Structures are given as structure tokens and as C-alpha cells.
Structure 1
Amino acid sequence: MSSISQIKHVLVVVDGAEHSLTAVDQALAYAGMHEAALTIVVVTENLAFAAAADAMAFAQAITVSEDQRDEHLAAVRERTRNTAIEVEVHSVFEASGLIPGLVKAEGQYADIALIPGVGRWQRDGLRRRISEALLFTGVPTVILPASWNPGPIDHAVLGWNASLESFRAARALLNLAEPDARIDVAIVDDPGVESGEHRGGVQIARLFARHGHSGGVCPISSSGKDTSAVLQNYAVEQKADVLVIGGYGRSRALEFVLGGVTRELIDHQRLPIVFVH
């Protein structure tokens, strides 16, 4: 790991249930690698709001919710005992609809946010909404597969389409990648392949080279497959450490029309995926 890491404050968001605790371990290792402070936000849905019309049901629901919050906080705090880095653990305990906005506010003060991926939450809908909310902070947000072992980024694949989000992702990658890293600029179904223009891919690859990185432009044919799957398959085949992509935050209807590349990548991870909005 470079001694001049730009990562000084890491945020990880979990629900604190048993299947989320490996993400706490991953976050501890990642923050330790960067000698960064770590904030762990443990989110718990307050079920009492759904039972507000019935006083007895409300009381029972709030007791159950509070007990779960306390249990999950205790489990996460136990997981962080005796760590050598600065760690803060606190709870977000609210109605499910309010939690993503509160987490978004937390993300605004971090250098990078980590989110455990599919299968590591009690309720997957909450995971998805939190992931989408963090995209709007502008902080690089990493969706973590359970198999990830934190390490330096020596090889990254950048999904490129010359959009503003792609430029932001490229800039973020300059801060995340190790010196002399290999960065492949992957362009799916690029109309500039025959002319050699690559929709700006050559210029961004040249910028990486000027910063001391190797790699180049890698045009890829989708062959009719989803762009999200094509990018992930390419990154996995190339044994990249991460896939980096400009995340699109749009309305649900428009995202559906566009094919939902961002949403598909949020919902399916074969390697760590870094989103930058």
C-alpha cells in the first residue's frame, strides 16, 4: 500500500445481523491498510411505525426493534474490540423510508463508503436503497462481495462511456490506485472502434499513463449481452482487483429504459465494484 494514501476516513454501513459481520471484518482490514479512521453505521428498521394504529402492536414492535438494534450494535462492537485503528460505531434507528437519507448524510463526510452486497442483509430492499442513496453523495461507494480480501488496487478496469460520471470515476481512480497500477479502459460496443477514436478512451488512457499507470483502451463487444454482465465478466477474466464505473442516479422509469446498468451492478457482484456519481 502506498504511504501517501488519500483514504483517511472509511464508512461502512451494515445491518449488524450475523451475515453482515464479515463486512465489518473487511472494513477493519481496509481501513487498517490505509491507516484510516473507520465509522461503522449499524442500521435497524424501527418496525413500530408500521403498527402505529394499534397501541398494543406499536409497543410490542418497538420493543422487538429496540432489542434487535441493541443486539446488532453489541455484535458489531464485539467485532471491533482490540483493533489498532480509530473506530466509531453508532446506530441509525428509524422507519425504513428514512434510513437511506440518514446514511447519505453520513457518507458526505467520508473518503470512501463500503456496502456489503447481495445476501448479506436481512432485507435486500433496504440494502439497495442505501446503496443508491450513497451514490448521490459523490463519495466513491464500493459494493463488496463476501469473498473480497482487502488489498491494494494494482489492477483496475474502468467502465468508460465518456460521460460526466465516467470522468468523475476516472478522477477517483487516480486517488485509489497504487502507483504503477494497470488500468484498463473498457468500452462496451464502442462506435469509435473502426475510426480509432474510442469516444475519448484514448485521452483518458493517456491521462493514466501520465500519472505513471500502464494499460490502455479495451473495446469490448457485448454480443447482445447486458453491459453490466459484459463489464464484470471482462474484469473477472482479466483478474482485476476492482471494476470502477460512473454510477447513474436517475428515475426508476428512465433507469429501466436505459437498461439499468447501475442497478444491475448494484445487485450482482463478482468482484468489488466502485461507483462514482
Structure 2
Amino acid sequence: MAYKTLLTIVTDAATARPQMDAAVALARREDAHLDVLCMGVDRTQTGYYYAGATAFVQQDALDRAQDDARALESAMKERLAAEDIRWSVEAVVAQIGAIATVAGLRARFADLVVMGPPYGESRGQELEAAVEAALFEGQVPVLIVPEKCDTAQIARRVVIAWNQSNEAMSAIRKALPLLKAADLVDITVIDPPAHGPERSDPGGQLSQWLARQGVHVEVSVLAKTMPRISDVLNRHVRDSHADMIVMGAYGHSRFREAILGGATRHMLEMAEVPVLMAH
């Protein structure tokens, strides 16, 4: 398997630079085609306007969304004009409640979706909807690229967050093209259960399977010495000078993650290096 079609969804040119840089670098490295979806968002909420105003409000919001999409399309074409990769740019308009449908359909026919963080300042709810649509409706891996990171070298030293879950295994399988090309892949196990199926050799079977795939792999077993798993992972990434994390996404329901938090949400909020996720 190789990544031959990459997709990135842009809703704001000002915050899109890191994800565009990463998408271009990966497209060049993988000899892949890069699709850029420029999305203008219609944020009208029909039920909140007085009778008779809805049509005027909707038309005004639609016109603004179309203008935003066309402006994004021009900016992305200008950004890609000098690049030595194959690319296409498309402008679309979506209502805030229909983003999952639009993004999910486009993501279905990509091998990898490259996005910026869905949470944080200047991040609208449309980014969270687009990321979740790619993971759930598109069933493709998503690479989240933080705003402040060096995208010149991605996936040279990779940390795998291994907890024996189906989501983690799915992410690892879908990350294989990057894992095979990495200089080193570190299977990181945090507080393995004393009576679990891997109690005598945490990460051992996964290590063997990856080695047979041609991956240069090692195993790190860490104690949970900080309140959250994501904190331990981020510290390990810094200590090992890793430049990417591979992990499963949303082992709990998205509602529970949003309300109570979880490793997925915390990682996306705090990650200092790109995170490749799959569900």
C-alpha cells in the first residue's frame, strides 16, 4: 500500500500554512496527487431568525461563503503554482450542519487526509466536523499538523501509542507507508495491564509483525507518572526527539470525548508534532 491521493481541507488561509506545507512535502515524497478542498462555510441557523428574515439572511450568508471559497481557491492555487507535484484545487460551499457529508464524501476517495488542529484559538467547529468526517464517514487516516512544527522532515522517528485497541491497530496498518520509510519506530506502551494478553511481553507481537514488514522498531514501556496519557506521550516524544505520533482515535464515544475529555482530544489540543490517527 502507498499513499497516492492526499486530501487537505482548508477553511482559513491564515491558519492553513502548516498543513499545506506538510501535504506538499508528503505528496512529493510519496509521488502522490494532492487534492485541496477550499470550503466556504454558511453558518446560518435558520431557527434563530424572525419570520420573513430567513431568506434574506440565508442568501447573504451564502454569498459570503461563496466569496470565501473563491478567495481560498485563488490563494491555494497561488500557493501551489510553483510546486513540482500533481495537484488540484476545488472550491465548495457547505452549511455548518452539512460539513460532515461534504468532507466525508471527499475523504472516502483519499488515502490520507492532512489537516490542522481542530481545537484551539481561531479554530471553528467546521474543522472538528471535517476531521471527524474523514475518520468516520471517510474511513481514512488523518494526519493532524500542529501550527508550530517543522514539516520538512515528517515521520523519520515515529512514536506509536500502543494500547492493544482496535483503533490503535487500525492506525498502525494505515500508517505503514510512513512507518516503513522511518529511520526508527518506537512502540510506546504506558502502564500495560498486569493480567492483559501481552503481560509477559508488552508490544512484542506488534514489534515482530512490524519487523517482518521491514520497519525498524523498538519498544518502550513507560509508567503513567503524569495525570494524563497524552502528557506522558508528549514528554516521551520530546525525550526521544520523535517527529510524529501514530495513535487510534476516539476509543470512547465522541460525545464522551467532547464532554469529559480523552486521550484523543487532549493529544490534539497539546501535540507538538504531527499526529496520524485512524478509527
Assess if the C-alpha contact under 8 Å between 1:143 and 1:266 holds in 2.
Answer: yes
Distance 2:121 2:36 in 1: 15
Q: Partner of 1:182 in structure 2? A: 184
Deviation at 1:256, TM superposition (A): 5.9
Alignment CA distance shift 1:113-1:210 (3 Å): same
Unaligned runs of 5+ in 2: none
Q: CA RMSD in A?
A: 2.8
1:249-274 CA distance string (max 9 Å, x none): 64344436875111222233210000
Report the 3-state secondary structure (helix = DSSP H, G, I; strand = E; otherwise coil) of the residue aligned with 2:89: strand
Question: Which segment is superposed worse, 44-53 or 134-143?
Answer: 44-53
Alignment pair present for 1:144 and 2:140 = no
Alignment CA distance shift 1:225-1:199 (3 Å): farther
Q: Partner of 1:133 in structure 2? A: 133
Aligned residues: 273
1:205-260 CA distance string (max 9 Å, x none): 12222233333221111224211221122122211121000112643444368751
Please point out which of 160, 163, 171 is paired with 1:161.
163
Alignment pair present for 1:8 and 2:4 = yes
Q: Partner of 1:244 in structure 2? A: 246
Assess if the C-alpha contact under 8 Å between 2:189 and 2:202 holds in 1.
Answer: no
Distance 1:269 1:98 in 2: 28
Please point out which of 261, 269, 272 is paired with 2:271.
269
Alignment CA distance shift 1:72-1:251 (3 Å): same
TM-score normalised by structure 2 residue count: 0.86
Matches within 5 A, 1:1-277: 6-48=2-44, 50=46, 54=53, 55-117=55-117, 122-136=122-136, 137-146=138-147, 147-151=149-153, 153-179=155-181, 181-192=183-194, 197=199, 201-248=203-250, 250-255=252-257, 259-277=261-279
Alignment CA distance shift 1:222-1:211 (3 Å): same
Distance 1:97 1:195 in 2: 42
Q: Which amino acid aligns with 2:114?
A: L
Task: Report sequence identity in percent.
Answer: 26
1:123-182 CA distance string (max 9 Å, x none): 432212221221113312100012231435232111011111122222223322244732
Question: Which segment is superposed worse, 225-234 or 45-54?
Answer: 45-54
Deviation at 1:10, TM superposition (A): 0.8
Alignment CA distance shift 1:27-1:213 (3 Å): closer
Distance 2:130 2:251 in 1: 13
Distance 2:111 2:172 in 1: 15
Distance 1:262 1:7 in 2: 24
Distance 1:93 1:38 in 2: 20
Assess if the C-alpha contact under 8 Å between 2:66 and 2:92 holds in 1.
Answer: no
Distance 2:169 2:57 in 1: 51
TM-score normalised by structure 1 residue count: 0.86
Question: Which segment is superposed worse, 159-168 or 191-200?
Answer: 191-200
Assess if the C-alpha contact under 8 Å between 2:10 and 2:72 holds in 1.
Answer: no
Question: Which segment is superposed worse, 15-24 or 33-42?
Answer: 15-24
Alignment CA distance shift 1:110-1:249 (3 Å): farther
